[in-house]
Amino acid sequence: MTSAAPGVWHRLGRKADLRAKAGLTRHVRTRADAIDLAGNDYLGLSRHPAVLAAAAAALAEHGLGASGSRLVRGTTGVHERFEAEFAQHTGTETAVLYSSGYMANLGAVAALAGPVLLDAHAHASLHDAARLAGGRSDTFAHNDLDELQRRLREVRPALVAVESVYSVLGDAAPLREIHALTTAHGALLLIDEAHAIGTIGPHGAGGAAAAGLAGDPGVVLTATLSKALGAAGGIVAGPAALRRHLHDTGRTFIYDTAPPPAVIAGAGAALAIARESDSARAELARRAALAAATLNAPTPAAGVLSPPAGDAKAATDWAERCAAAGVAVGCFRPPSTPDHRSRLRVTINTGVAVEDFDRALEVIQAAR
């Protein structure tokens, strides 16, 4: 009997060759010592002494990992406290922790069964979740309220999914207007707050709070803890009935190991700091505006800046020239970009010294 495996690897090799010719090869490289404008540590909290101390204390008490699902091994006070604090921070009734923001989005969309309508620029995890849920899903043009209204009439979705601050272009969703439409058509609104928690809204409570939607029963929030909170993990927040439903039926909660207590303890300390960091948010906005002016890009809603870079190879070369000069930036190419354009992705980090940030902008502009 002849194995089919050699043919499979040959086809994959050919596809890799085609991606390489198109400039779409991706490389996992060792992290270099550089000015960090590539990560998402917007407020510089991942190395804050209070964050590290909280994580170290929980590590000593609970060990390295959670050792199982919270339904199997049991929960910890660390997990429960963070859920309560996050719910209070965002004005929601309750919240549920996950091992990643990706898993939180999969869990939330799957739990809210029914047709799903997504902004075309919504994060890949939301689009994946809609497909994996097995129901009907469709998209509407990015931030296009007229098309959203038309699609709401046609699709009659149970759920509309958007980001409050979009992860590629860095622009904001018109949440008040979208909420008015979803309410009129009897749909729930899921708002992914990944890039908004800690960076916008009252005390960094996010886009929903900034739009006056905190605690609205027609709104579900998701977020990752890996951006402004400098940690890891994900969370879903909303009405108390949602928490009960996720505990009883949510596969990404039931069957996944809980996030490590030490990481969540650090995230809790970061959340407390972020609440009192209005000056850091003001500095984030100042730096974002400066970066946009320097790099000739639209001013972002929070900390994501995405100057266009021509084709995929041009974007890769630009990012590599920045790296060679000691500045780490992101590089987004299709299929990661919803508009199919290649671009640099510069993320603002207020933990970077002002003089280093200014020098980094000079490097990025000179390397263009």
* Structural domain includes residue 2: no
- Of 210, 244, 275, the residue that ends a domain is 275
Is 261 in the same domain as 306? Answer: no
* Structural domain includes residue 18: no
Rg of the chain in Å (alpha carbons)? 21
Query: CA-CA distances (angstroms) from residue 202 to 92, 131, 346?
Result: 14, 34, 24
Measured over the CA atoms of residue 311, residue 320, residue 124 and residue 24, the dihedral's sign is positive
In sequence order, which residues have a C-beta less than 8 Å from that of residue 324 and are 6 or more positions away?
Answer: none
Is 292 in the same domain as 172? Answer: no
CATH number at 334 reads 3.90.1150.10
pLDDT number for residue 3: 65
Could you tell me the two tokens for 80?
């429960």
Is 96 in the same domain as 122? Answer: yes
Is 55 in the same domain as 202? Answer: yes
Could you tell me the two tokens for 357?
């940030």
* Structural domain includes residue 143: yes
Q: pLDDT tens, position by position, for the chain (368 residues)? A: 556 677 888 788 888 888 877 777 777 676 678 999 999 999 999 999 999 999 999 999 999 999 899 998 888 999 999 999 999 999 999 999 999 999 999 999 999 978 999 999 999 999 999 998 888 899 999 999 999 999 999 999 899 999 999 998 999 999 999 999 999 999 999 999 999 999 999 999 999 999 999 999 999 999 999 999 999 999 999 999 999 999 999 999 999 999 999 999 999 999 999 999 999 999 999 999 999 999 999 999 999 999 988 888 889 999 999 999 999 999 888 877 777 788 899 999 999 999 999 999 999 999 98
Q: How many domains does the chain have?
A: 2
Number of other residues whose CB lies within 10 A of the CB of residue 53: 13
Residue with tokens 């707050």, as numbered in its chain: 193
Distance CA(82)–CA(92), nearest Å, equals 13
Is 224 in the same domain as 333? Answer: no
Is 360 in the same domain as 218? Answer: no
pLDDT number for residue 137: 92
Could you tell me the two tokens for 22?
């198109």
Number of residues that make up the chain: 368
Is 327 in the same domain as 304? Answer: yes
Range of the domain at 282: 25-43+278-366
* Structural domain includes residue 252: yes
CATH number at 189 reads 3.40.640.10
pLDDT number for residue 98: 97
- The pTM of the full predicted model, rounded to 2 decimals, is 0.92
Is 223 in the same domain as 293? Answer: no
* Structural domain includes residue 14: no
Distance CA(301)–CA(44), nearest Å, equals 18
